[in-house]
Amino acid sequence: MIKTPYLLFLGDAPDQLAAKVAQGIKDWRPENAVGQYRMEGCKADMGLPDMDLAAAKAAGAKTLVIGVANRGGVISQAWKKVLIMALEEGFDLASGLHNLLRDEPDLVAVAEACGRALHDVRVPEVKYPIANGVKRSGKRCLAVGTDCSVGKMYTAMAMDAEMKERGMKSTFRATGQTGILITGDGVPLDAVVADFMAGSIEWLTPDNEPDHWDLIEGQGSLFHVSYSGVTMALVHGGQPDALILCHEPTRDHMRGLPDYQLPTLEVLRDTALPLAQVANADCKVVGISVNTQHMGEDEAKAYLAEVEARMGLPAVDPFRHGAGRLVDALATA
Amino acid sequence: MIKTPYLLFLGDAPDQLAAKVAQGIKDWRPENAVGQYRMEGCKADMGLPDMDLAAAKAAGAKTLVIGVANRGGVISQAWKKVLIMALEEGFDLASGLHNLLRDEPDLVAVAEACGRALHDVRVPEVKYPIANGVKRSGKRCLAVGTDCSVGKMYTAMAMDAEMKERGMKSTFRATGQTGILITGDGVPLDAVVADFMAGSIEWLTPDNEPDHWDLIEGQGSLFHVSYSGVTMALVHGGQPDALILCHEPTRDHMRGLPDYQLPTLEVLRDTALPLAQVANADCKVVGISVNTQHMGEDEAKAYLAEVEARMGLPAVDPFRHGAGRLVDALATA
């Protein structure tokens, strides 16, 4: 568990996109973000108060979160200076960078001397069990995609937010680095050892109240040959009661795989549902989430209407039009 | 790569079953086993010459392989004495034990001093790539099961042996500890980090001659919720041209999962084949391997005939009746 709230470190981000993690925290857990720390030359701006370490401390921040991708896989000396000062001021550090905080001897030494924690969310810190498949109480919803990066995390986040607004019981369950930094907790599934993947998801989504929903962040795709095993562990370890199909209609091949076409939503449904029913015979496909960011408003609406008629399920872009109808579908499921 | 041939260490095995690894080596790579080393009280016997270290050395053995499971997850002092002497005599050590050789400081110190290698085949020693899905030359066959431990390794081994006898080009590709110890090489798939599973199988089964077959050892089952992600990585990373369906008909629930029933062979076929065709559109199911060890001869024959008629595919128990008809099916595929 990463201590909240955060000071978001934007460093010397060359543009807004480089600060994707900070953006996610700002969008989905604004209550976790007391301010932003920008260095000279920073081109990103979350619209949060700019704070130095002392101001952030006074505002209650507990952890400095590296909300920006670094260049060249090296934690620069300019960053280091800030990170070390932050440890000395009493902040923990959290990072999803590929190069780990714990591999930097100077950071480790200062963290130890000051009694502060270094959280590398790419590395599992729990000894997960082997999955046992025992039926758990409570409800679970999993987003599955025709491809990677089609909006599965966004869909689960948006549904969780809508459910909370309605007073329903729900928890977003992060399975990737960004999700973990946003919420402060979760399983970095792509870094878990093969035998423990499904068990890590059982661990993440334990018994709960009968009317509580876990919104599980999806990973990869059953049709993406690089990562399909990770997706499969979510389908079986997550024991979902409900599946949301996620799609990005303008993509002309699978992400990173130029020779592979995306499956249709029908093929995704007919593949994912029987597999999910191995772990939960009552599982249903309840809705469709379409990422229409590359479509105009009219085109998006026409596409969603066509998909909805064809599949007989609510089809929405939760970013564009809200997740309300997906939550309606869950509530009636 | 583990240096062959081996001296098989049977230790103080309480029975024949405890020496399963040694049995596999003896059955499948007898040319790799120059002799056996038994301690006082050993109840296992591979029918190999009993040798002390000096005799095994003289007979050409390069590696002492721990061919027996240890009790209680501890490498006993009695074993240690032999292992240390073996290192001093110039043997490498190889082990598939959960408790690693490399975690024993005395073994590490002696191995370093003597310049010998400690092979823990449970731990990946290669930095595997992320799978790229690019079509590879050569042919690949994968055994997929209705459950774990239904005879997938045995099936691939038996087919490989039969193909070699016929002068066909084939390689057994080990994906588990026993297979790796038997052949001296492979990928310990259940210990690979999630993101690299499919890539490790691409690495294991690279481009080859057009008429060469890789016989890939299966793991888990698409229907076993604890390990299905591992199986999925084989189905996509292996890019199989041919699938063999494996089944054990007398099991009344999935291994280790009392609440889960085995799927039928039809359901396995209809699930595995479309998934395999994502990575290789030409993939076919070519045969069925049934583990009939718990059936009488008449019962086994009747069952195989019934399955063969029902499925329209050759159905054999390769242990009982040979793998010839499965290889015929591959050859015509």
Check residue A72 and give its pLDDT: 73
d(CA A46, CA B103): 48
Q: Estimate to the nearest angstrom the gap between the alpha carbon of A154 and the chain centroid.
A: 7
Check residue B17 and give its pLDDT: 86
Check residue B1 and give its pLDDT: 86
Per-residue pLDDT of chain A (333 residues; tens, 9 = 90+): 899 999 999 999 999 989 989 999 999 999 999 999 999 999 999 999 999 999 999 999 999 999 998 777 789 999 999 999 999 999 999 999 988 999 999 999 999 999 999 999 999 989 999 999 999 999 999 999 999 999 999 999 999 999 999 999 999 999 999 999 999 999 999 999 999 999 999 999 999 999 999 999 999 999 999 999 999 999 999 999 999 999 999 999 999 999 999 999 999 999 999 999 999 999 999 999 999 999 999 999 999 999 999 999 999 999 999 999 999 999 998
Q: Which residues of B touch A233 (CB under 8 A)?
A: 194, 228-229
CB distance from B233 to chain A under 8 Å? yes
Task: Give kind and range of the element (H or E) at residue A319.
Answer: helix A318-321
Residues in chain A: 333
d(CA B120, CA B122): 5
Check residue A135 and give its pLDDT: 97
The 3-state secondary structure of A76-135, one letter per residue:
CHHHHHHHHHHHHCCCEEEECCCCCHHHCHHHHHHHHHHCCCEEECCCCCCCCCCCCCCC
A274: nearest CA partner in chain B:
B271
Check residue A98 and give its pLDDT: 85
DSSP A192: S
Domains of chain A from N-terminus onward? 6-120 (3.40.50.720), 139-332 (3.40.50.300)
> Model ipTM?
0.92
Closest Cα to residue B231, out of B208, B254, B207? B254
Q: Which residues of A touch B131 (CB under 8 A)?
A: 225-226
CB distance from A223 to chain B under 8 Å? yes
Q: What share of chain A is helix, strand, coil (3-state, %, to 5)?
A: 40, 20, 40
Q: Which residues of B touch A235 (CB under 8 A)?
A: 228
The answer to whether B132 touches B196, Cβ cutoff 8 Å, is no
DSSP A257: B
| Mutation to test the A interface, candidates B204, B224, B225, most A Cβ within 10 Å | B225
- What type of residue is B21? V
The answer to whether A287 touches A162, Cβ cutoff 8 Å, is no
Residue A91 CB neighbours (<10 A): 25
B267: nearest CA partner in chain A:
A274
| Mutation to test the A interface, candidates B190, B228, B261, B264, most A Cβ within 10 Å | B228
Instruction: Compute the nearest-CA separation of A33 from chain B (Å).
Output: 30
Instruction: Compute the nearest-CA separation of A43 from chain B (Å).
Output: 32
Task: Give kind and range of the element (H or E) at residue A181.
Answer: helix A177-183
B234: nearest CA partner in chain A:
A229
A273: nearest CA partner in chain B:
B271
The half-sphere exposure of B223 on its side-chain side, counting CA atoms within 13 A, is 30
Check residue A69 and give its pLDDT: 83
Residue B321: pLDDT band (50, 70, 90) is very high
Residue B304 has pLDDT above 80, yes or no: yes
Of A169-173, B13-17, B269-273, minimum mean pLDDT range:
B13-17
C-alpha radius of gyration, chain A, whole number: 20
Check residue B180 and give its pLDDT: 95
CB distance from B132 to chain A under 8 Å? yes
d(CA B51, CA B309): 50
The 3-state secondary structure of chain B, one letter per residue:
CCCCCEEEEEECCCCHHHHHHHHHHHHHCHHHEEEEEECCCCCCCCCCCECCHHHHHHCCCCEEEECCCCCCCCCCHHHHHHHHHHHHCCCEEEECCCCCHHHCHHHHHHHHHHCCCEEECCCCCCCCCCCCCCCCCCEEEEEEECCCCCCHHHHHHHHHHHHHHCCCEEEEECCCHHHHHHHCCCCCHHHCEHHHHHHHHHHHCCCCCCCEEEEECCCCCCCCCCCHHHHHHHHHHCCCCEEEEEECCCCCCECCECCCCCCCHHHHHHHHHHHHHHHCCCCEEEEEEECCCCCCHHHHHHHHHHHHHHHCCCEECHHHHCCHHHHHHHHHC
CB distance from B140 to chain A under 8 Å? no
Contact A260 B274 (CB under 8 A): no
**How many beta-carbon pairs below 8 A join chains A and B?**
128
d(CA A80, CA A105): 11
A201: nearest CA partner in chain B:
B226
For A71-87, b where at least 16 C-beta lie within 10 A, e where not — what string? eeeebeeebeebbbebb
pLDDT tens readout for residues B57-96: 999 999 999 999 877 778 999 999 999 999 999 999 999 9
The answer to whether A315 touches A308, Cβ cutoff 8 Å, is yes
pLDDT tens readout for residues B225-236: 999 999 999 999
Average pLDDT over residues B24-42: 95
CB distance from A194 to chain B under 8 Å? yes
SS3 A6: strand
| Cα four-point dihedral sign B154, B155, B160, B166 | positive
Instruction: Compute the nearest-CA separation of B30 from chain A (Å).
Output: 31
